[in-house]
Structure 1
Amino acid sequence: MAPMSENATGTFDITGWDEKATEERTGAKMDRVIVGKVFQGDLTGTSTTELLSVHTEAGPAAYVALEHFEGTLHGRQGTFVLQHSAGATDGVQWLKWQIVPTSGTSELKGLRGEGQIIVGPDGGHSYTLGYELD
């Protein structure tokens, strides 16, 4: 059977922000943070993210993270892991997600794809996720 290609969209709320470590370095501040989220839309569930970020004099500069999602994707129950890559140039942010291959469980086994996080002018978060599922 051919893989099924779909797109997921929705929003999420940040429910927890626990700074674990901060290190000041010349020209940069580095943080390690655990982030909790609740998702609405085509993804429904919760996640925990471990995030490493760097801030410079110009503001947030970049972050990388691994996020473990638990819930449903278009009604299919399971878990999977997202790898984040993000940065900002001249105040313009870009945030990308990639599903970690082989991380899907239960009805999400075989899940793969990528997407992005969009931060609105009001600070709200939305997402798009293009994916394939065997």
Structure 2
Amino acid sequence: MESTSVTGTFEIAYTPAGSWSGADDPASRMTFTKTYAGPLAGTSSGEMLTAGRPGDGSAGYVALERFTGTLAGRHGSCVLQHSGTMLAGRDSLLVVVTPGSGSGDLAGIAGTLALTMEDGVHRYRFDYALPLPAYSA
């Protein structure tokens, strides 16, 4: 597998989708859409579950996001799996490509996605690997 790193930007829009039934702590569900620009270009939609008190600096979330578009000229889709926590204002986030979720030219993809916000702009760094094309003589 060939390993590569690319960077770019994205925009995101959230829509509240209710709270967890019977949850004692502040917990909610959201849907979201993203538009990626750069070597990773396309759109995604996802669902997120959150809990905790982010205003107090402590919370967590999990999400699944289906991306469809192109990655360095290869067209396909994959699912990104998020796990994030905030404790005393310190963030920890892991976003990985869900194993076995790649399709089209992205079949077999593996990798991690780092998300940041700089000067009001959402940015990503995608470290990924794709199977090498089959050799034909």
Q: For the superposition of Structure 1 and Structure 2, which TM-score range results when normalised by the shorter chain? A: 0.7 to 0.9
RMSD in angstroms over aligned alpha carbons? 1.7
Match of 1:50 in 2: 47
Q: Which runs of 4+ in 1 moved over 3 A?
A: 23-26
| Number of residue equivalences | 129
Distance 2:120 2:107 in 1: 33
- The answer to whether structure 1 residue 86 and structure 2 residue 84 are counterparts is yes
Contact 1:21/1:31 (<8 A) preserved: yes
Distance 1:60 1:49 in 2: 23
Distance 1:111 1:60 in 2: 33
Match of 2:114 in 1: 116
Match of 1:37 in 2: 34
Distance 1:108 1:8 in 2: 15
Please give the TM-score of this superposition, normalised by the length of structure 1: 0.87
What do the CA deviations read for 1:53-108 (whole angstroms, capped 9, x no partner)? Answer: 11326145110000000000111100000000111122232222100111111100
Match of 1:133 in 2: 130
- CA 1:119–1:60 in structure 2 vs 1: closer, same or farther (change >3 Å)? farther
SS at match of 2:26: strand
Contact 1:43/1:74 (<8 A) preserved: yes
Greater share of strand residues, 1 or 2? 1
Distance 2:121 2:115 in 1: 10
Structure 1 unaligned blocks of 5 or more:
none
Structure 2 unaligned blocks of 5 or more:
132-137
